[in-house]
A and B are shown apart, each in its own frame.
Chain A
Amino acid sequence: MALSATASGWRFKQPSVIPGFGLTLGFTLTYLTLIVLIPLAGLGVRSAALGWSGIWTIATDPRVVQALRVSFSTSLIAALVNAVFGVIVAWVLVRYRFPGRRILDAIVDLPFALPTAVAGIALTALYAPNGWIGQYLAPYGIRLAYTPTGIVIALIFIGLPFMVRTVQPVMEEISREVEEAAATLGANRFQTISRIILPGLAPAILTGFALAFGRAVGEYGSVIFIAGNIPYVSEIAPLLIVIRLEEYNYAGATTIALIMLIFSFAVLLAINLIQAWSRRRFGYGN
């Protein structure tokens, strides 16, 4: 079975100290099928009931288009913000030793554990026009909650740990000697960061970006409390899916979900390709 593969330097079955390749692969495939593939196939089956023209009608419906636009644009902005601030947070946690660092480190994980609805309600309490922060902005006509900006805030919140936790271990791997070498060769701080550190981190940053983005696109609980949910303005695609379910329109709901999935997959694939390229180009540990 693995004959031709061996010739090209790739073998189906890698020898390992841990036995049971067949068993573990079988388990992996079964598990993935049950947990991921069958539910996703269900999406396709439900949508297929509509036929191509039905799917196309839904995909081009202005309300659906607008909701998808809101979802993807806010997710993109939130992931970009996280790409900057997540790296800074990771940098502080890796490079500096200060009292309370471990607590700070633990706090970063909280958005993972918190029910997102709780996060949404808490964020709304902060940013609503009468909230702790919102009340100081409202007099200047700045409204955060109940606008697309509010959605971005919620998505930054839930995406942050993905960024930090992806970048952190890679950052720990970059040895200080490289920076010191750069300095002895006459590089200034800016050159060290842009030529030495960032390229090394690029694959990790891209991974973190992809994870934060993917998470944000599907986010529902935290967003609906802060978004205001006005159709064509701050209505996100997951809410539109819930609305279709409330109409007992399963096919319509799964079709929007399928469209989201295809978009997300395309974006994630693109990020993966860039990532693979940058790993080959600058990669650490490879």
Chain B
Amino acid sequence: MRTRFSKIFTAALLAGTVQFGALGMAFSQETLINVSYDPTRELYREFNAAFIAKWKADTGNDVTIQMSHGGSGAQARTVIDGLAADVVTLALEADINAIAEESGKIPADWRGTLENNNAPYTSTIVFLVRKGNPKGIEDWDDLIRDDVEVITPNPKTSGGARWNFLAAWAWARAEFGNEDQAKEFVGQIYRNVPVLDTGARGSTTTFVQRQIGDVLLAWENEAYLAIEELGPDAFDIVTPSISILAEPPVAIVDGNVDQKGTRELAEAYLDYLYSDEGQALAAKHFYRPFRPETAAAEDIERFGDVELVTIEDFGGWGEAQPFYFGDGGVFDEIYRPGQ
């Protein structure tokens, strides 16, 4: 009697251990945390659903994907401070570089581990103007006119705003041929900025809801999203002659996936961004896909023609970040009093 009881007890205990052990393992292997930035909410909602279905079909396993959205720099900081992200899909190379430097969880040479400098989709900076373009804004030189108010967030707190800044700089450099005049020009643009919001969404609110300003410098995908959500009768998109190729990069957080045993899943997840389905979804959500031929033709036709400079023309983010946006950098100089 006694032995039987203890046998049952042992068996139950053993079964329990196996059960929960397996559950625990299943949990750690089949959950993926993607730390991203604000404007990718809609894209990844759809992409994750597609990936979950594909993963189920390929491996028979269920996978749960947790998303975290926020300002790109703030998101990078949460990863540095220990959020166990498997992959990061941020707005700026500089933010992933910061994770690599500060936490060591991403190797310094992460850029190049995936195709196209780890950017499965790209975007650029365009102008969102009020319907009918009442101020007749066509290109960057219109932004320094006295009767034009420009809305852009603060490059210190917003990744998107750094692309805005560099896009304006690229135009001025091409136009005037030297850096001093480019600085003067960009400074004049910022003197036409009445409200310097802390993030891209804040600037969109200022421009769209508060009706402040004549032109919003925006990510192309955000501009299309704003038009889609707020109705095409309120705004127009103006594509300037020169803009910048914004490459929001993605990367695996090696330090975390090795610890959690999720490397295979994380690699499959990022690779799927480069697949035909991933590329089509990126185009659908107004990002310019790395391989446009895989996306729907009508999604591609929406994008305006523009000459795109790249961050390499500024010496890469490692050089551009401290020079333009660091403490005491060019942006701080623009706001020196007395100018």
Contact = CB atoms under 8 A, between A and B. Distances in A.
User: Do A and B interact?
Assistant: yes
B73 interface: yes
Nearest to A146: B195
B198 A224 contact: yes
Interface residues of A, number: 29
Contact of B327 (A121, A128, A230, A252): A252
22 contacts: A63-B332, A124-B210, A125-B209, A145-B210, A146-B212, A224-B197, A224-B202, A225-B202, A228-B195, A229-B154, A231-B196, A231-B335, A242-B157, A244-B327, A245-B77, A246-B71, A246-B73, A246-B74, A246-B157, A248-B77, A248-B80, A248-B98
Contact of A247 (B80, B197, B212, B327): B327
A126 to B, nearest CB: 11
Interface string A165-178: 00000000000000
Contacts of B291: none
B198 A239 contact: yes
A158 B332 CA distance: 31
Contact of B198 (A62, A128, A242, A249): A242
Contact of B210 (A128, A231, A232, A245): A128
A243 B158 CA distance: 9
Contacts of B211: 128-130
A125 B211 CA distance: 11
Given A129-B212, A130-B211, A232-B337, A246 B194 contact: no
Nearest to A124: B210
A66 B74 CA distance: 25
Given A62-B337, A128-B212, A246-B73, A229 B102 contact: no
Nearest to A240: B156
B318 interface: no
A232 B157 contact: no
Interface string A43-61: 0000000000000000000
Interface string B56-81: 00000000000000010110010010
A44 B96 CA distance: 28
A40 B236 CA distance: 50
A249 B325 CA distance: 12
Contacts of A228: 194-196
B16 interface: no
A62 B327 CA distance: 13
A229 B190 CA distance: 12
Nearest to B209: A125
A130 B210 contact: yes
A230 B77 CA distance: 25
A64 B250 CA distance: 35
Contacts of A121: 205
Given A66-B337, A245-B73, 4 more contacts: A125-B209, A146-B212, A225-B202, A246-B157
A199 interface: no
A131 interface: yes
B136 interface: no
A246 B164 CA distance: 17
Contacts of B132: none
Contacts of A66: 337
Nearest to B158: A246
Interface string A61-103: 0110010000000000000000000000000000000000000
